[in-house]
Every structure is written in C-alpha cells, then in structure tokens.
C-alpha cells in the first residue's frame, strides 16, 4: 500500500492533478481499481500539503433492469468519511435492449461518462478522478495502434471546458497486478459486474496479447507507458 500510495502521489504531483481547495469526485464502479483509488485518495487527503475535499459517485447501469447492490460500497465510504452518491440509470437497457450495440462498451462508457460529468456539476465538484492504471494506458496505446493506426492514449489530466471539469487519473503509475494484491489485502468491497459483455471485450483481448508478448519482451507495459512520457504524447 505504501509503495502504491507513493506512485499515486508522484502522479498527482507530476501533473498537478489536485490543486488546493479542489472538490474531487471519484468515479466508483464497484471494481477493485476505483475502490482502491478512493481508498488511497482518502488517505492522501489526510497529509497532502494542498487540502482538498473528496466525494464518491456511482452511475449504476442497472443491467437486466435491476439496481445493483452498492450497500457494501456505501458502508466503505462511510468508514472513510467520504460522502457517497448513486445515480440509477437505464444504461443497461439502452445499450443491450434498445440499441443492441455491436460494440456496447464504447457507447456505455460514453454515456456513463456523461452521467458522471453531470453529477459532478450538480455536486459542485471541480475534478473527477478515474481509476485507469498503468496497464489500461498500455492497452489503450496498443488498441489505438492495432484498431486505429495511431499512437495515442488518454491524458493523465484533461479539462472539459463545457463542463468546467478536470478529469484526472492518479493511478497511471500503478500496475494492475499490484492494485489487485492491495485490494485483496485491504478486503475492498468489490461489486461483481453484471454486464453481459464483462470479460469479452477488445480491451480484455488486448490485455491477453500484451501478457503473451511480455514472455519475449519483459516489462512491455512499463515500456509502452515510458514511450508515452518520452514522446509527451497526449500531455504525458
């Protein structure tokens, strides 16, 4: 936990992610990454030299037209002293029943982001922290190369001028394997996704490709992220 906290602080400081008096919302899906991000930012809040507020927000897709049970997440937030807000949505119905999308992940992610952005505005949040980690960055680089023919990635920090909202990704220096171990040690209340496409996505296939390549090219994930930083691509 200490090493990962150091990596988070390094990312926050390198990209000036959290200025003083920020009100930061953490997008909590119920997965290990967003829950770990919430835990580490709650800890950082205690000693970071620039004081900030912390809020947790969830956009429940309600897959199968059923509300997801986030009661354990709500209890976890209470234990951290973090206010928690859930927005129930019809994302699951729209994506899988009404639209029957061939690429459901792209539409679902876009709509979920819109809901979170709107909720941030309603709650007076200046920043939205997302749980993308180092492996997500490497996978995005490779997906952009394979599917789009370009070298690029999401940015560590970006500004949505229409919303007046900063998007930040404090976990970008944290490997997924270490987050998984930390989540297990901390007994984080992970909520299993009910998404019909869970585990059958292009990102999952790309993660498998990188794992296979790393047998011949060790530390490929770190090398891809290093290439982003050295090239200053997408504000890295």
pLDDT, tens only, 151-206:
999 999 999 998 999 999 999 999 999 999 999 999 999 998 877 776 667 888 99
Mean pLDDT of 75-87: 96
Give the model's pLDDT for residue 41: 97
Give the model's pLDDT for residue 66: 84
Give the C-alpha separation, 30 to 86, whole Å. 11
- Write the CB contacts of 235 (distance below 8 Å, at least 6 apart in sequence): 15, 155, 156, 157, 158
Percent of the chain with pLDDT over 90: 77
Closest CA to 35 of 172, 198, 191: 191
Closest CA to 54 of 36, 41, 72: 41
**pLDDT tens-place string over residues 43-70:** 999 999 999 999 999 998 888 788 999 9
pTM listed for this prediction: 0.92
Q: E-assigned strands of 34-164?
A: 52-60, 83-88, 127-129, 157-160
Q: pLDDT category, 123, cuts 50, 70, 90? A: very high
CA Rg value for the chain: 17
Mean pLDDT of the chain: 92
Q: pLDDT category, 109, cuts 50, 70, 90? A: confident
Annotation: CATH topology of 2-235: Rossmann fold (3.40.50)
């Amino acid at each position: 936990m200490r090493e990962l906290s150091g990596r988070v602080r390094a990312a926050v400081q390198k990209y000036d992610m959290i200025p003083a008096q920020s009100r930061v919302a953490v997008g909590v899906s119920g997965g290990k990454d967003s829950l770990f991000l919430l835990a580490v930012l709650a800890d950082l809040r205690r000693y970071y030299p620039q004081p900030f507020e912390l809020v947790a927000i969830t956009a429940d897709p309600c897959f199968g037209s059923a509300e997801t049970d986030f009661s354990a997440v709500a209890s976890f937030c209470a234990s951290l002293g973090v206010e928690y807000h859930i927005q129930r949505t019809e994302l699951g119905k729209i994506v899988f029943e009404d639209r029957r999308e061939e690429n459901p992940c792209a539409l679902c992610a876009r709509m979920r982001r819109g809901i979170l952005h709107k909720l941030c505005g309603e709650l007076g949040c200046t920043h939205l922290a997302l749980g993308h980690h180092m492996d997500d960055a490497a996978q995005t680089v490779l997906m952009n190369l394979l599917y789009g023919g370009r070298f690029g990635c999401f940015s560590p920090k970006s500004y949505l001028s229409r919303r007046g909202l900063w998007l930040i990704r404090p976990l970008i220096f944290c490997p997924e394997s270490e987050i998984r171990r930390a989540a297990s040690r901390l007994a984080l209340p992970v909520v299993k996704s009910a998404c019909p496409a869970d585990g059958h996505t292009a990102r999952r296939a790309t993660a498998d490709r990188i794992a296979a390549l790393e047998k011949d090219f060790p530390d490929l994930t770190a090398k891809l992220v290093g290439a982003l930083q050295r090239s200053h691509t997408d504000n890295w």
